């Protein structure tokens, strides 16, 4: 028989691999590990994880806030009152990470301020991380499980743009009264999500920035480029809010914001249902306006998208750039927008995107 010469020629090689595989074993000693020490080390690593998540979440929100406030005229009717702080208690974290959160942040059953965005209403009101929250206005806040989402609802009901809201807090054992006056901001929640993909999404209600994206960006201006682009998708109503409202309960609460919850499974579908190239081009155009209004330089933005285009094809080209305009088009268009923005600035014109002719 002379039918499969290739297979027959390779047989000895295949057998050799199988045999080697079967005998493979280590030849040096295995270092003995004390299980108690390993358990302690696992807790240390979890604590590092929750701290890193909160730190990264804070960075994303700090970069986003000036764009949400100053971009409000572009968001037009898609605006709401904004406060600029995140709170939670130990139940805000999943069970596995509660002990870590308790030792990292000292959280318990009461609601505690976890982060305060710089130059936001919360920071102007004098709220500080670690403050225990007792009341929003006349409403006494709950404790324990679900206290975070219930209190977020109370806060959203009480906040009116430009109207002071009394916040009663406990700081170092003493009751303190603070007054928070909400800003008018673009109606977009900013969520930092766990995930290695270099990715970002907008769903009409919120924008999601992955930890992979945070590792990819090389500066605040680059991160602002991504966030500005995603805010622009929501500002221009590219995705119908109603379509994604089903996610509100599980994802858009303070828990997600504080923990950087893994939303990858929920958003796999969203990434697949890409925006049209027209919407992408509009998000690029409007996104640079949102950035400039937020006080960021947009000069690095064309190079950022160029870098996205040439970076790791596996994670970037299929999942992200694949849904976005060709990088050559995009680079040239963004350069033109920068010229337009500089011209408007030097003529003292308002930074608002030009309508379709
Ligand atoms: Zn986009």
From ligand 1's centre to the CA of 231, what distance in Å?
A: 9
- Alpha-carbon distance 213 to 312, whole Å? 12
- What single string gives the DSSP state of each residue in 204-264? SSEEEEEHHHHHH--SHHHHHHHHHHHHHHHHTT-S-HHHHGGGHHHHSSHHHHHHT---H
What pLDDT score does 254 carry?
43
Closest CA to 60 of 222, 192, 202: 192
How confident is residue 2, by pLDDT bands cut at 50, 70 and 90? Answer: very low
Task: Report the pLDDT averaged over residues 167-192.
Answer: 95
- Confidence bin at 73 (pLDDT 50/70/90): very high
Question: How many angstroms is it from 329 CA to the middle of ligand 1?
Answer: 14
Specify whether 129 is catalytic: no
| 118 contact partners, CB below 8 Å, separation of at least 6 | 62, 65
Section 227-234 average pLDDT: 96
What integer is the mean pLDDT of 221-232?
A: 97
pLDDT at 256: 45
Q: SS3 helix, strand, coil % of the chain, rounded to 5?
A: 55, 15, 30
Longest dimension (CA), the chain: 92
CA 42 to ligand 1 center in whole angstroms: 38
264 CA → ligand 1 middle, Å: 17
Given a cut of 90, whether residue 202 has pLDDT beyond it is no
Sign of CA dihedral 336, 342, 347, 353: positive
242 confidence band (pLDDT: 50, 70, 90): low
What is the rounded distance in angstroms from the CA atom of residue 353 to the CA atom of residue 282?
10
% of residues, the chain, pLDDT over 90: 61
Q: Which of 197, 230, 280, 282 is catalytic?
A: 230
Name the 3-class secondary structure at 329.
helix
Average pLDDT taken over every residue of the chain: 84
Ligand 1 center to residue 272 CA distance, Å? 12
How many CB atoms neighbour CB 198 within 10 A? 23
At 312 the pLDDT is 47
**Stretch 290-301: mean pLDDT, rounded?**
97
Q: 232 C-alpha to center of ligand 1: Å? A: 9
SS3 121: helix
Reported pTM: 0.84
How many C-beta atoms surround the C-beta of residue 137 within 10 A?
A: 15
**Spacing, Cα 286 to ligand 1 middle (Å):** 11
Measured distance CA(123)–CA(139) in Å, rounded: 21
Given this model, what pLDDT does residue 216 score? 93
The residue that leads in pLDDT, 235 or 199, is: 235
Report the DSSP pairing between strands 132-136 and 139-140. Answer: antiparallel
Determine the distance separating the centroid of ligand 1 and the alpha carbon of 137, expressed in angstroms.
39
Give residue 187 CA to ligand 1 midpoint distance, Å: 17
**Which residues line ion ligand 1, judged by CB < 5 Å?**
280, 283
Least confident range from 122-126, 193-197, 249-253, 256-260: namely 249-253
Question: For residue 84, which of 110, 111, 106, 114 has the smallest C-alpha distance?
Answer: 114
Tens-place pLDDT, residues 244-270: 544 443 333 444 444 444 444 445 445
Query: How far apart are alpha carbons 218 and 250 in whole angstroms?
Result: 31
Query: 341 C-alpha vs ligand 1 centroid, how far in Å?
Result: 20
State the Cα–Cα distance between residues 141 and 164, nearest whole angstrom: 18
């Amino acid at each position: 028989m002379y039918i499969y010469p290739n297979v027959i020629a390779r047989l000895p090689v295949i057998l050799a691999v199988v045999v080697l595989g079967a005998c493979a074993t280590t030849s040096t000693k295995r270092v003995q590990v004390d299980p108690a020490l390993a358990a302690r080390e696992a807790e240390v690593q979890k604590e590092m994880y929750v701290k890193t998540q909160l730190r990264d979440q804070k960075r994303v929100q700090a970069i986003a806030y000036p764009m949400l406030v100053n971009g409000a005229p572009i968001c037009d009717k898609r605006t709401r009152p904004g406060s600029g702080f995140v709170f939670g208690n130990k139940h805000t974290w999943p069970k596995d990470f509660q002990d870590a959160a308790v030792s990292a942040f000292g959280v318990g059953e009461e609601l505690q301020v976890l982060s305060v965005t710089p130059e936001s209403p919360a920071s102007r009101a004098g709220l500080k991380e670690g403050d225990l929250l007792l009341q929003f206005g006349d409403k006494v806040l709950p404790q324990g499980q679900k206290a975070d989402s219930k209190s977020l609802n109370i806060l959203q009901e009480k906040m009116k743009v430009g109207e002071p809201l009394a916040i009663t807090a406990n700081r170092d054992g003493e009751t303190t009264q603070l007054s928070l006056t909400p800003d008018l901001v673009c109606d977009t929640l900013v969520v930092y999500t766990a995930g290695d993909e270099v990715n970002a999404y907008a769903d009409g209600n919120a924008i999601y920035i992955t930890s992979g994206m945070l590792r990819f960006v090389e500066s605040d201006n680059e991160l602002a480029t991504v966030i500005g682009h995603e805010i622009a998708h929501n500002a221009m109503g590219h995705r119908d809010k109603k379509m994604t409202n089903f996610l509100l309960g599980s994802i858009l609460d303070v828990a997600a914001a504080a923990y950087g919850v893994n939303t990858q499974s929920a958003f796999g579908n969203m990434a697949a249902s890409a925006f049209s190239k027209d919407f992408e081009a509009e998000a690029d155009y409007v996104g640079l306006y949102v950035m400039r209004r937020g006080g960021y330089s947009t000069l690095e933005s064309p190079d950022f998208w160029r870098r996205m285009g040439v970076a790791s094809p596996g994670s970037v080209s299929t999942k992200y750039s694949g849904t976005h305009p060709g990088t050559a088009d995009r680079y040239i268009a963004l350069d033109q927008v920068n010229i337009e923005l500089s011209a408007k600035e030097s003529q003292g014109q308002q930074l608002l995107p030009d309508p379709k002719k």
